[in-house]
Amino acid sequence: MRIGELARKAGTSTRTLRYYESRGLLTARRADNGYREYGEEDLLLLRQIRTLQDFGFDLEETRPFVECLRAGHPAGDSCPASLAVYRRKLDELDGLIDRLAGVRAQVARQLAVAEEVRAPYAAGVDEAPDPPRCEMTG
């Protein structure tokens, strides 16, 4: 199949395919007329790359999966190098989750303090002092 057909089937652009080719992730064969030619195995490679990118993997992190498929394995994650990338990505995600959990806890504490300070005003208590002014809004 030609580059346009492959791009359509893969749900990407011909420009992206040329970029992948320049990065060594996709290899086109050339027809006698010079057109790029691709096979079903190239579509499988592209689907692997796209799936991993949807999961947040950068393009270089997809390389071991592509190489695994090129080596004839039935799945891109059948090789030790691919498993190592999965492990690194999980460690990265765990770190992000930990940082987000910390930020969430800080925001929850700040909300609790703000609600406690604001409670008399929200209840309409007449004798409540003027609310504190927000430093950000003046």
Mark residue 23 as left, alpha or beta (left: phi above 0; alpha: psi -120 to 50; beta: remaining). alpha
Residue 67, helix vs strand vs coil = helix
Catalogue all structural domains in the chain, each as residue range(s) with its CATH number: 3-120 (1.10.1660.10)
Please give the angle made by the CA atoms of 28, 39 and 79, to the nearest 5 degrees.
85
- With beta carbons less than 8 A apart as the criterion, state whether 49 and 62 touch: yes
pLDDT in tens, the chain (138 residues): 999 999 999 999 999 999 999 999 998 888 888 888 999 999 999 999 999 999 999 999 999 999 999 999 999 999 999 999 999 999 999 999 999 999 999 999 999 999 888 776 666 655 555 666 666 655
- With beta carbons less than 8 A apart as the criterion, state whether 68 and 78 touch: yes
| pTM score of the predicted model | 0.73
Question: What is the C-alpha separation between 64 and 52, in angstroms, rounded?
Answer: 11
